[in-house]
Amino acid sequence: NYLFARHHDGKFILRIEDTDQTRYVENAVEKLISSLQWAGLDYDEGPQVGGEAGPYIQSQRADIYRNYVQQLIDEGQAYYCFCTPE
């Protein structure tokens, strides 16, 4: 993704997927960012950098997603699922 973005004059955007809290690993985000910096892979937008596409941590986007979900439901383009986890 980094090389593709650079080759095509695009942006390398770091998005943190943290919505599945059952797989949460303490300090994982910090380690990821540190590893990217160590490798010289600087991102153009993301946590600690900011930018137009934020917020970059997905759990912080919940209200945005909720609004779009409600819009789809109101328009009859989506529906609630009442399936059991089984």
Q: Domain ranges in the chain?
A: 2-59
Question: Rounded mean pLDDT of 39-47?
Answer: 96
Residue 47 CA: distances (Å) to CA of 58, 74, 77, 82:
11, 33, 33, 35
| pLDDT value for 64 | 96
Q: Where are the beta strands (DSSP E) in the chain?
A: none
Residue matched to tokens 């383009």 = 77
Q: How much is the pTM?
A: 0.77
Q: With a cut of 90, say whether residue 14 has pLDDT above it.
A: yes
Q: What amino acid occupies position 36?
A: L
- Residue 15, Cβ neighbours under 10 Å: how many? 16
